[in-house]
Amino acid sequence: MTRSATCLLAVLSVALFCGADWLQFRGTNGASLSPDAAPPDSWSETKNVAWKASLPGRGASGPIVVNGRTYVTCSSGIKQDRLHVVCFDNETGGEVWHREFWATGRTLTHPFSAVAAPTPASDGERIFAFYSSNDLACLDLDGNLLWYRGLAFDYPKAGNDIGMASSPVVVGKTVVVQMENQGDSFAAGIDTATGETRWRVDRGHQANWVSPIALPGEREGSMAVLLQGPSGLTAHDSMTGEELWRYDVPCSTTPSVAVSGDHIFIPANGLTVLKLARDATVPSLVWDSIQMSPSPASPIIVGDRVYTMNNAGVLSCGDVETGKRLWQLRVGGRHWSTPVVAGDRMYCINSDGAAKVVQLGDKGEVVSTNEFSEEIKGSPAISDGALYVRSDGHLWKIASGLR
């Protein structure tokens, strides 16, 4: 068989296996949603845990899933200056490879957080592992280093000793990082292939932990990125960084903006919903509601419903068009992890490690409580009907025995 035929089959096999990826914080499209998945609605030590693997360090980052493998970032050491990227086989839970780096930026964080706080991102071919130290490593799916940027090495005053947590997002051929802090504060678009900086825009000198999100453009293939700051939301061309529009509103600095169709859901004045303009100019206000205020988890939109979790662990369901709150449910606990929705079930994991499965409908109902018995801060991933959850010490695959 010729080399080209071998390569063709290799590509074919990759294509067949990559149907259920969870490529970044809140999933491939940033919606925290896997409509057709059905992970187990309950689990325990003896039921529906496919495997549990040890991790080499702490992390508030979530796992991502690419081509049948799960990728997790961790930080370890007394100064948390050892950075890890670990790849697991989804079928067996075995470690496929493990890379370590030394942090080049600041590694102080609040004890609750970790240097591995941002969730990594992938374009399906590469892993972009980002850390509170502002180190950005790019590896291929087999762990080969493609490039490595120390963004605080470039801009030494970039850092926040409470810890940075903004997750990168891949928008087309650009990976966007948002590094807002009291020192060198900026967002940047990095070429996914070369690691070169495509653009860099100054941001306000205030600590901000939110993550950017992609906004599909009007033209085919054109993509913008939304940056949420304390004083408003801005849309930027993903290739140039050019500011396309700005909407001034005092935004939260913890939960992140979400997009669904032509609506934008901003954690601001409670929850502020905008409708995109047809001509890609400044969007218009649809409604805002203090009753729907999310914190610290980000809002989730499923069809004509928007869901937010507040500081007290109360889940609110609202109407997307009107903002009217339809029901509330006390889930309990503090949710640093943004819940995920599979079908009509929402998986809510609080920071004490209690996972509540909520049946969504005309009202919400907790159908099971499942204890991880470890602190959970990272948002889970869903892939091929399984739920992937990480703590400071472990990674779990929650899946039915037979699918």
Partner 1 sequence: MGGFAETNNLVTMPQHRIVSFPPHFPADEPMKQSTIVAAVAAGFLAISLIEFSSAEQVDVEALAVKLRSVGPKGEGHAEAAQAWQAIAKADADQLPAILAGMQGAGKLSENWFRAAVEAVAQRHLKQGGQLPVDALEGFLADTRQAPRARRLAYELIAGIDPSAEQRLIPGLLNDPSLELRRDAVALALKIAIAEEEAGRKDAAVKTYAKAFAAARELDQIKEATKKLRAFEQPVDVPGHMGFVMDWHLIGPFDNTDSKGFDVAYPPEKQIALDATYKGKVGKVSWKTHRTSDEFGIVDLNEIFERPKEGTEYKLTNEHKGTIGYALSEFETDQPREIEIRIGCINANKIWLNGELLTANHVYHAGMEVDQYEANGRLKKGTNQILVKICQNEQEDTWAQRWQFQLRVCDELGTAVLAKNRTLNQTAAN
Which stretch in 121-129, 223-231, 242-250, 395-403 sits in contact with partner 1 by CB under 8 A?
395-403
Using the rule CB under 8 A, is 403 a contact of partner 1?
yes
Which stretch in 58-66, 193-201, 302-310, 328-336 sits in contact with partner 1 by CB under 8 A?
193-201
State both tokens at 301. 């939109």
What is the pairing mode between strands 300-302 and 284-289? unpaired
Backbone angles phi, psi at 58, to 5 degrees: -85, 170
Using the rule CB under 8 A, is 375 a contact of partner 1?
no
The 306-345 contact track toward partner 1, x by CB under 8 A, reads ----------------------------------------
Q: How far is the CB of 149 from partner 1 (least distance, A)?
A: 7
Cα 25 to Cα 110: distance, rounded to the nearest angstrom: 21
Site for partner 1 in 66-125 (CB under 8 A): 68, 78-79, 90-95, 97-102, 104, 108, 110
First to last CA, the chain: 36
CA dihedral for 137, 138, 141, 143, sign (positive or negative) = negative
- In the block, tokens 């292939």 appear at 193
Q: What are the DSSP calls for 63-121, one per residue?
A: PEEETTEEEEEEEESTT--EEEEEEEETTT--EEEEEEEE--S-----TTS-SS-SPPE
Using the rule CB under 8 A, is 254 a contact of partner 1?
no
Using the rule CB under 8 A, is 196 a contact of partner 1?
yes
Nearer to partner 1, 46 or 290 (CB): 46
3-state secondary structure 116-147: CCCCCEECCCEEEEECCCCEEEEEECCCCEEE
Q: Which of 18, 29, 41, 154 binds partner 1 (CB under 8 A)?
A: 154
Q: How far is the CB of 86 from partner 1 (least distance, A)?
A: 8
Using the rule CB under 8 A, is 280 a contact of partner 1?
no
Question: How many residues contact partner 1, by CB under 8 A?
Answer: 78
Q: Which of 44, 240, 284, 322 binds partner 1 (CB under 8 A)?
A: 44
Q: Which of 29, 182, 231, 368 binds partner 1 (CB under 8 A)?
A: 182
Site for partner 1 in 161-180 (CB under 8 A): 161-162
- In 3D space, the residue among 160, 123, 117, 153 whose CA is nearest the CA of residue 138 turns out to be 123
Question: Rounded to 10 degrees, what is the CA torsion of 172, 307, 326, 318?
Answer: -30
Q: Which of 242, 243, 304, 371 binds partner 1 (CB under 8 A)?
A: 371
Nearer to partner 1, 150 or 339 (CB): 150
Site for partner 1 in 202-221 (CB under 8 A): 205, 207
Q: What are the DSSP calls for 185-202, one per residue?
A: -EEEEEETTT--EEEEEE
State both tokens at 66. 């690419």
Using the rule CB under 8 A, is 13 a contact of partner 1?
yes
Residue type, 133: S
Site for partner 1 in 258-277 (CB under 8 A): none
